[in-house]
Structure 1
Amino acid sequence: MKKISLLIGAVLFSTLFYKQSLGLNMSLFSIVTIVILATYNPKSFKQKSSIAFSLLYLISAISIFFFQSSLSFIANFVAFFTLVGHVSEHKSSIYVSWLNGFYSFVAGFFHRNFNPHEKEEKVKIKRDIDYVHWIKIIGIPLIVVIIFILLYRNGNPVFNDLTSKINFSFINIQWLLLTVLGYYLLYNISEPIPVNPATTIDLETKNTLKNKGEFSIKSVKNENQLGVVLISLLNLLIIFFLVTDFTFLFSTQDLMASVFSSQVHSGINALIASIIIAIIIILYFFRGNLNFFEGSKKLKSLAYIWIVLNAILVINTAIKDCQYIYYFGFTYKRIGVLVYLLLTVIGLATTAIKVNQIKNLWYLFRVNSVTAFAILIIACTINWDKHITYYNLNHAQSIDFFYLTKLSNNNTFLLKEYSDNIPLKGENKIRVDRKYRNYLKKLKDNNWQEFTYDNLKID
């Protein structure tokens, strides 16, 4: 029964994707994937986390049906590897799930059939398969059915007309090869494989640092003094930087776009450098015995202050970016800056938790990777092109219309509506009309596998 599900899945795979662009087929394939995983791994799907990752994977696939954005494609692939890897070992960290999912997807067949340890286990439970019996079950009924179809076609003109409309021309050598590929890929993920020793090490590694026992008080004191001096100086330096930067920010008005751009990007560059250095320094000083030294309270306080000051630097950069957006509208780069700032704040918060609760480096990796994955899934459910276009047309002080027409087709209907309500002239109108015509043609040419939400908007 399980093998039959793989065969059906393989046929569906080639039917959904052979000479088709991505659309509805991704949602249908995600359902096929989840069904096969659940069929082969019923115990894993008793875990709520497996069901949750399945839903996230399905959401990312549905977002492709709605938006067909690059972000939704990326989110779907990441969610796919996350789900497959999670099924292999539900207690592993999410980045290990990515590794396990990718490995299973690419090399699951070879691992199960050519790995010596796997082969030894299979020999013990392997049963003889009666291939002749299976050939009879499949071949004889198929031949008989074809013969009777030919007979009925000659005896009934209505039946002949109906069967003649069935088009099997898509079944060719390429379609068959894609079917084989689909079977191979589905077979790979049907029983996902945990990669060792990475998975084992991950399971054995906890999030909390342990006191290794006795340590040299003198060396810890010296390290504590070094940390206090260094972080104190860095706190003074970042305070001076923030004062001068806020002074510049509030003493200037109506900056040119190039000045805003320079300010935002230089702020981001400074932020990247300072955050990386801050985390490295904090991880260095709080990597071991200093966490358990009673005299390190002052150093911890200075570390918290430094984290807060870096958070203020984030706010400062966010203000610049928001001003930039207010005057010149949204672009993907400006949105990217805000997303990066959000991730930075989360990174600073988890670093503070690491210091306060004596966590290790793996804690930061685990929490921040899960956070990044969650933000990716949330982001893929948003029609960014449409929101960018709507804001820029209605609220931005200056409109870069050429940029809007270069975005994906997700904003095509909105641009056309704007063009009809506020008659455009010249090159802008030509671009909008051309984009609208081309998109309508594309939608009308879509096969059912390629259907998107916008297909429902046209007659």
Structure 2
Amino acid sequence: MNPAFQPGAAAWPSATPAQPAPLPLTAAQKLLLPLGALLFDWLFWLEGTGLNVLVFTIFVVAAQLYLLPRHAAARRSGYFWLAVAGSLFSAAMVAVYGSGAAGLATLASLAMLLGYVNQPHLKLVLYAVLTAGANWLQAGPRVLRGLRAPRQSGAGLRRGWFYARLLLVPLAVLVGFHLLFAMANPRYDMLSYKVMAKLMDWLLLLIPDISFAHLLFFALGFLLTAGALVVVPVHYFADHESRFGEFIRRQRDRVASFGVRRPDFSAKNFRTLDLRKEFLAAGAVFGLVNLLLLVVNAIDINWLWFGFVPKANFDLAQFVHEGTYVLIFSILLAMGIVLWFFRRNLNFYQPGLPWLRWGATVWVLQNAVLAISVGLRNYYYIWHSGIAYKRIGVCFFLVLVFFGLATVLLKIWQRRSAYSLIRLNSLAVYAVLLALAAGNWEPWIAGYNLQRRFPSLDIGFLLDMPGRVLPVLQARRAVIAEARQLNVEDENGNVTSIDNAAALARLDMAIRDWQAHHAARPDWQSLTWAAYQTAEALPPHE
């Protein structure tokens, strides 16, 4: 158990409106809280994201490992160690690339870590994140309530005055000897003067920096540190998850596998379908949609899979966008229908269960074929028009679709519950988020798009990317100079064309602006490895 856990502490949300009691802190927490707040302020005030994210993440992870007792349940949780590894990995990717995906992965990983520390028996990633959020909302205010001086403070004041007198005497002696040495030794006097001058200069620099905004930022850092180091037991989501099981069991009261009770239509004299009628309905649905999907897949295989070449003036973007969104919605709807029919006792209807399982399996496999067609549409768009952020997103989304279809097959053949599918797919989403954090996507996009075979180049899109893409653009100036059509987008979203000289001038201006910004911010806190490599690769600023 974490040292901050107290028996009888209020769960979240609280059942009474009374103010929560202040939290008793351990000696380690009393030391780490101000240290973490000062560290947060030093790392992030007026800084971007870079090495500071890695340093603060290491501090949070190390503090949690130190605060956790040796026999704490969290240390035996695989989800906890997954969150630890994910936090350090994603924070390292922030220090390497400084990308938004890596920052989001770090935030999600730390939230998971704190959620599993709070409730080690949690498995759902979403519930762990919500538990961490609920803990953060309570930890800071309750720690601040504990900072109030106790009402019976007479003995404490006397003890404080006793130690103050012990400290004042050595200080007075030190000042006296300092004055004597300064009068007797000119060199000592000059050295002490220089030290005091440096101290005063530092104070003069510090005082203007202490603004109201800075104080608010420091308070935010203290609250974030309190939420990361102090545990307020939040049982709400753990109690809710404890109702679910990995597998479906036969239910006599018609309770769904995810805790949703079937509506009662007895007031309308409506009799609920028995298993045989429900089986006939499911069989009819699977049979009809399999035939319909077979026709759609046959058309796509004949049209897209072999030798697809878009005709002249063919709107490939419209073809990909509309077709992709519709097909993705169709796949999600198919997965929902399978979950609906296999949600409860139909899994145990032996007379028709084999037919139902095979019919649903064929439908799932046909949806996998449909997902392949979506991937081919995306591939043709990339091949003929280049890569964009959405195209990468579609690729990773299709990976999740294939994983989700595989878990649907597990549900069909192993009677897994919807809770089991959500648990597995949430872990897959987290794995995809870490994969996105590991990619240096912008230079890869620019390197692919800067090919002479493309009829047009969206130079405005490339110049709007982070600075780490500039070495790629600089290395391929010849491609920009020879491009047949260069497009930019204005503030109103209108796409216009510019000539090659104007595009190269914009590139030179972007390089100068980035170098000036990089030179003006020499602090290491927001430095990244990609920024260092960019500065080394770009030509010297003139």
TM bracket, shorter-chain basis:
0.7 to 0.9
Is the contact between residue 208 and residue 360 of structure 1 (CA under 8 Å) also seen in structure 2? yes
| Equivalent residue in structure 2 for 1:351, among 408, 420, 423 | 408
SS in 2 for 1:170: helix
The aligned counterpart of 2:331 is: 275
Deviates more, 1:291-300 or 1:390-399: 390-399
The aligned counterpart of 1:229 is: 284
| Equivalent residue in structure 1 for 2:90, among 60, 67, 80 | 60
Deviation digits for residues 31-69 of structure 1 (CA, Å, limit 9, x no counterpart): 221123223323356335433312211222222222222
- 1:327 aligned onto 2:384: yes
SS in 2 for 1:450: coil
The aligned counterpart of 1:33 is: 60
- 1:405 aligned onto 2:480: no
- 1:441 aligned onto 2:471: no
* Aligned-partner residue type, residue 139 of structure 2: G
- 1:415 aligned onto 2:446: no
1:417 to partner: Cα distance: 2.2
Report sequence identity in percent: 24
- CA distance in structure 1 between the partners assigned to 2:509 and 2:378 by the alignment: 33
- 1:263 aligned onto 2:263: no
- CA distance in structure 2 between the partners assigned to 1:45 and 1:277 by the alignment: 37
- CA distance in structure 2 between the partners assigned to 1:254 and 1:364 by the alignment: 39
Is the contact between residue 325 and residue 396 of structure 1 (CA under 8 Å) also seen in structure 2? no
1:349 to partner: Cα distance: 0.9
* Aligned-partner residue type, residue 450 of structure 1: S
* Aligned-partner residue type, residue 73 of structure 1: G
* Aligned-partner residue type, residue 425 of structure 2: N
- CA distance in structure 2 between the partners assigned to 1:198 and 1:89 by the alignment: 9
Deviation digits for residues 108-128 of structure 1 (CA, Å, limit 9, x no counterpart): 2346788xxxxxxxxxxxxx9
| Equivalent residue in structure 2 for 1:240, among 253, 277, 295 | 295
- CA distance in structure 2 between the partners assigned to 1:293 and 1:129 by the alignment: 75
For normalisation by structure 1, the TM-score amounts to 0.87
1:213 to partner: Cα distance: 5.7
1:130 to partner: Cα distance: 4.5
- CA distance in structure 2 between the partners assigned to 1:146 and 1:332 by the alignment: 67
SS in 2 for 1:448: coil
- CA distance in structure 1 between the partners assigned to 2:364 and 2:525 by the alignment: 50
Deviates more, 1:156-165 or 1:30-39: 156-165
1:419 to partner: Cα distance: 2.3
- Counterparts of 1:14-25 in structure 2, within 5 Å, are 14-25=41-52
Is the contact between residue 326 and residue 396 of structure 1 (CA under 8 Å) also seen in structure 2? no
The aligned counterpart of 2:75 is: 46
The aligned counterpart of 1:206 is: 245
Is the contact between residue 106 and residue 185 of structure 1 (CA under 8 Å) also seen in structure 2? no
Deviates more, 1:379-388 or 1:161-170: 161-170
Is the contact between residue 60 and residue 76 of structure 1 (CA under 8 Å) also seen in structure 2? yes
- 1:285 aligned onto 2:285: no
SS in 1 for 2:248: coil
- Counterparts of 1:311-322 in structure 2, within 5 Å, are 311-322=368-379
Cα gap change, 1:289 to 1:52, in 2 (>3 Å): closer
Cα gap change, 1:374 to 1:445, in 2 (>3 Å): same
Deviates more, 1:39-48 or 1:86-95: 39-48
Deviates more, 1:136-145 or 1:82-91: 136-145
* Higher RCO (CA-CA < 8 Å; seq separation 6+): 1
Deviation digits for residues 106-152 of structure 1 (CA, Å, limit 9, x no counterpart): 332346788xxxxxxxxxxxxx9957757887998699779969959
1:306 to partner: Cα distance: 0.4
- 1:6 aligned onto 2:33: yes
* Aligned-partner residue type, residue 94 of structure 1: V
The aligned counterpart of 2:4 is: none
Cα gap change, 1:45 to 1:86, in 2 (>3 Å): closer
- CA distance in structure 1 between the partners assigned to 2:434 and 2:166 by the alignment: 48
Cα gap change, 1:357 to 1:396, in 2 (>3 Å): farther
Cα gap change, 1:104 to 1:129, in 2 (>3 Å): farther
* Aligned-partner residue type, residue 182 of structure 1: G
Is the contact between residue 23 and residue 68 of structure 1 (CA under 8 Å) also seen in structure 2? yes
| Equivalent residue in structure 2 for 1:170, among 193, 206, 210 | 206
1:368 to partner: Cα distance: 0.7
Is the contact between residue 6 and residue 36 of structure 1 (CA under 8 Å) also seen in structure 2? no
- CA distance in structure 1 between the partners assigned to 2:415 and 2:464 by the alignment: 49
Cα gap change, 1:358 to 1:221, in 2 (>3 Å): same
RMSD of the alignment, in Å? 3.5
The aligned counterpart of 2:487 is: none
Cα gap change, 1:140 to 1:261, in 2 (>3 Å): farther
Q: Aligned pairs, how many?
A: 449
Is the contact between residue 452 and residue 479 of structure 2 (CA under 8 Å) also seen in structure 1? no
Cα gap change, 1:62 to 1:214, in 2 (>3 Å): closer
SS in 1 for 2:242: helix
Cα gap change, 1:159 to 1:379, in 2 (>3 Å): farther
1:370 to partner: Cα distance: 0.9
| Equivalent residue in structure 1 for 2:218, among 179, 182, 201 | 179
Is the contact between residue 329 and residue 396 of structure 1 (CA under 8 Å) also seen in structure 2? no
Is the contact between residue 275 and residue 346 of structure 2 (CA under 8 Å) also seen in structure 1? yes
Cα gap change, 1:103 to 1:213, in 2 (>3 Å): closer
Find the structure with the greater CA-based Rg.
2
Cα gap change, 1:395 to 1:76, in 2 (>3 Å): farther
1:228 to partner: Cα distance: 0.9
- CA distance in structure 1 between the partners assigned to 2:143 and 2:311 by the alignment: 63
Is the contact between residue 74 and residue 116 of structure 2 (CA under 8 Å) also seen in structure 1? no
Is the contact between residue 14 and residue 179 of structure 1 (CA under 8 Å) also seen in structure 2? yes
1:200 to partner: Cα distance: 1.4
Is the contact between residue 25 and residue 450 of structure 1 (CA under 8 Å) also seen in structure 2? yes
Cα gap change, 1:252 to 1:173, in 2 (>3 Å): closer
Is the contact between residue 101 and residue 192 of structure 1 (CA under 8 Å) also seen in structure 2? no
1:5 to partner: Cα distance: 1.4
* Aligned-partner residue type, residue 29 of structure 1: F
Cα gap change, 1:222 to 1:52, in 2 (>3 Å): closer
Cα gap change, 1:402 to 1:180, in 2 (>3 Å): closer
* Aligned-partner residue type, residue 402 of structure 1: G
SS in 1 for 2:277: helix
- CA distance in structure 2 between the partners assigned to 1:184 and 1:213 by the alignment: 49
Whose helix proportion is higher, 1 or 2? Answer: 1
Is the contact between residue 86 and residue 94 of structure 1 (CA under 8 Å) also seen in structure 2? no
